[in-house]
Amino acid sequence: MSETGDHPAPADTAPAAAPRPRLFALLLKDRVACLAALVLLAMSTAAVVGPFLLGDLATRQNLHSVDLPPFTLDNGWAFVLGSDSLGRSVAARLVVAARTTFAVAVPAVLVSFVVGSAWGMWAGYHRGWRESVSMRIADVVLSFPSLLLAVVVLYVFSPSIATLVLVLAIARVPVYLRTARAESAELRSRLFVDAARTFGASSGSIIRRHVAPTVMPTLITVATLDFCFVMLTESSLSFLGIGIQPPDLSWGLMVAQGRQELQTAWWIAVFPGLAIVMTTISATTLASWARLATDPAQRWRLTVPRGRVRRTARKAEEVAE
Amino acid sequence: MLVFLRRRILSSALPLLAVVLGVFFLARLTGDPANLYLPLSATPEMRAEFAARNGFDQPVAVQFLDYLSQIVRLDFGESLRTAQPAAQAVLQAFPATLQLAGATMAIAIAAAVVVGSLAAYRPNSVADRFASLLSSASASVPDFWFAIMGVLVFAVTLNWLPTSGTDGMGAWVLPIATLLIRPFGVLVQVVRGSMVSALSAPYAKVARSKGAGERRVIFVHALRNAAAPALTVAGDLTVGLVNGAVVVETIFGWPGIGKLMIDSILQRDFAVLQAAVLLTAVTIFALNILIDACYALLDARVRQGVTT
């Protein structure tokens, strides 16, 4: 699991701790999901330790090594992905930019996840006016193009990592709010919630102890997918010049810088985009795996070989018909 | 039907009002335009005169009331940048975006219906694989990068298409292709999903048993029922299309409303920004009402307010 989903789960859900080793074994069995997890792990490792190792290299300008082409070791391993118009190593810059990209996306997802889920469970559990007011607010935020919201807010507060996190979190809270509300509204009439209420549990503790653990797998999947969305929005904003500002680096900003030199040095714009695509594809793959792995009714699909899944599914369809 | 529409209009008017309010106050907070339009050496008197001329010396509440009464009279003030009426600047830019977005949505819906239906009709076929590949790509590829890769391949390397501008048919290809991937990727999955259930529904079997051809079953019987979810999603996608339009118009120098909005924010041109955002919000609002009306026409349960 990416670091987006890992933190909030164990905090308030005791049962989540028990199946973890089993989940990990399941992950090792699925080759594609395993690869995706490895890519994400590599990216986040690069984001954490990369700047210490390569920070100097990423900013060192050298007019003797301007616009070196990629995929050759003639100029040393640092220039394996080429260099930009100031002679800086593209590979080192990619690693340093990974930190900014993660430093925006991870907190933004965490904040919107925590706020949106808590708010949504509260609204869905209580129904009534609390629910309608919350949903109206969510409608308003969602009906406004998120890029415009970001553009306007980022001009009020000058663009920085903190304001970017704030804007992206606000724009994404409704997504969790809607999901959590729908699920907890359905849960509140279930027998186990009724039982807890009969025993005199307060609504706060019912939400914490009974609703939250049940809703959590869905919300974590949503969060993993949302990680992609947040990352794409951040890079769009940086690309448009209203997100991360130089001398800071982000993948979107690197594409914008490379755009100026598309004719002479295509690699400057291509590689950061590829980095974005690799991260988002890995996160999506892992999210769809997590959806299966955390759903007790679907988990068997991961434990049997691929061919059998299809055959069993077909048989099930025939039975249904 | 009328009751239904009235309820929808009322409930959608709230977001609209919030947008007007939000944009007005946020735009006020973006910084003093006097810093941008007067030389650094401007005297306090010059600044005061500038503020008085543009109404910035009034309390914000008064400015807002003035603004509201102007909107009612369809007067959006003047652009600080060009001294042109803001409404005129916005209306000049609007058709370019509308054409781009309209063409994109038309192509996206048509292509998604055909590909999605084929994918649902034959699961795991070429069309199905193509559809799922495209939709996963559409969720992972940043649109600005896609556009730049398009420029790199088709404009810089192959020289088939222009890099920017609006001249000729060639100039439309890359902007539309960039805008297209996301709506198409989402729509094709929605169409596929709802077609799968529609094709196995009893009425599809009845139609087949009466001897209706497969094409008739797909496009007449199943599609009518499968269209409703696709329509709802199409409404959400138009909001996303505005996001896309800002990026695409900036990259391709398309003189549309997205570019106008970015430019007017960078230049702190309140009047134009407000008019542009308001027009966008009204358009989205009108479009949602239109989609709801279509939805109600398709599905009698919605029309009569029956909740299922």
Spell A286-297 as b/e; 16+ CB within 10 A means b.
bbbbbbbbbeee
Nearest to A215 by CA among A186, A190, A180, A191: A180
> What are the tens digits of pLDDT across the range B11-33?
677 777 777 777 677 666 655 65
Q: Mean pLDDT across the stretch B194-204?
A: 78
Nearest to B146 by CA among B180, B187, B188, B112: B180
Nearest CA in chain A to B11: A136
Q: Does B262 touch chain A (CB under 8 A)?
A: yes
Q: How far apart are CA A141 and CA A125, in angstroms?
A: 22
A39, amino acid identity:
V
Domains and CATH numbers, chain A: 45-296 (1.10.3720.10)
- The Cβ-side half-sphere exposure at B296, using a 13 Å CA radius, reads 18
CB atoms within 10 A of CB B69: 10
Nearest-CA distance B94 → chain A (Å): 16
Nearest CA in chain B to A158: B30
- Can you tell me the ipTM of this complex? 0.73
**SS3 string of A176-216?**
HHHHHHHHHHHHCCCHHHHHHHHCCCCHHHHHHHHHHHHHH
Q: What is the predicted pLDDT for the residue at B44? A: 75
Residue partners of B216: CB distance under 8 A and separation at least 6: B207
Nearest-CA distance B143 → chain A (Å): 8
Is the CA virtual torsion A72, A75, A76, A81 positive or negative? negative
Looking at the partner chain, which of A136, A155, A235 has a beta carbon nearest the beta carbon of B265? A155
Nearest CA in chain B to A320: B200
Q: Does A228 touch chain B (CB under 8 A)?
A: yes
DSSP-assigned beta bridge partners for residue A89: A83
Q: Does A145 touch chain B (CB under 8 A)?
A: yes
Q: What is the predicted pLDDT for the residue at A4? A: 42
Is A167:A154 a contact under the CB 8 Å cutoff? yes
Is B177:B223 a contact under the CB 8 Å cutoff? no
Interface contact A144-B136, CB threshold 8 A: no
Q: What is the predicted pLDDT for the residue at B308? A: 41
Q: Mean pLDDT across the stretch B226-250?
A: 78
Q: Mean pLDDT across the stretch B221-245?
A: 76
Q: How far apart are CA B161 and CA B150, in angstroms?
A: 9
Is the CA virtual torsion B96, B97, B103, B106 positive or negative? negative
More confident: B164 or A307: B164
Is the CA virtual torsion B275, B276, B277, B281 positive or negative? positive
Q: What is the predicted pLDDT for the residue at A5? A: 40
Interface contact B149-A273, CB threshold 8 A: yes
Please work out, in degrees rounded to the nearest 5, the angle formed at the alpha carbon of residue B94 by the alpha carbons of B93 and B95.
100
A306, amino acid identity:
R
A positions 76-135 inside 8 Å of B (CB): none
Nearest to B273 by CA among B29, B14, B11: B29
More confident: A308 or B42: B42
Q: How far apart are CA B22 and CA B26, in angstroms?
A: 6
Could you tell me the two tokens for B221?
A: 């019987």
Could you tell me the two tokens for A188?
A: 């509140």
Q: How far apart are CA B81 and CA B279, in angstroms?
A: 19
Could you tell me the two tokens for A269?
A: 């714009």
Q: How far apart are CA B214 and CA B43, in angstroms?
A: 78
Interface contact A148-B261, CB threshold 8 A: yes
> What are the tens digits of pLDDT across the range B45-73?
777 777 676 666 677 777 777 777 777 77
Interface contact B140-A140, CB threshold 8 A: no
Is the CA virtual torsion B55, B57, B63, B69 positive or negative? negative
Q: Which residue has the tokens 């819906």?
A: B109
Counting residues of chain B whose pLDDT is more than 70, the rounded percentage is 84
Nearest CA in chain B to A143: B239
Residue partners of A36: CB distance under 8 A and separation at least 6: A281, A282, A283, A285, A286, A289
Chunk chain A into consecutive blocks of 10 residues (it has 321) and report each block's average pLDDT, rounded to whole numbers: 41 45 72 84 83 70 68 65 73 84 90 91 84 80 71 70 86 88 83 86 84 82 85 86 80 84 79 88 83 69 62 62 52
Q: What is the predicted pLDDT for the residue at A305? A: 60
> What are the tens digits of pLDDT across the range B80-106?
777 778 778 888 888 888 888 888 888
Nearest to A296 by CA among A226, A225, A218, A222: A218
Q: What is the predicted pLDDT for the residue at A110? A: 93
Residue partners of B125: CB distance under 8 A and separation at least 6: B118, B119
Looking at the partner chain, which of B15, B250, B261 has a beta carbon nearest the beta carbon of A143? B15
Q: How far apart are CA A23 and CA A16, in angstroms?
A: 10
Looking at the partner chain, which of B142, B246, B247 has a beta carbon nearest the beta carbon of A273? B142
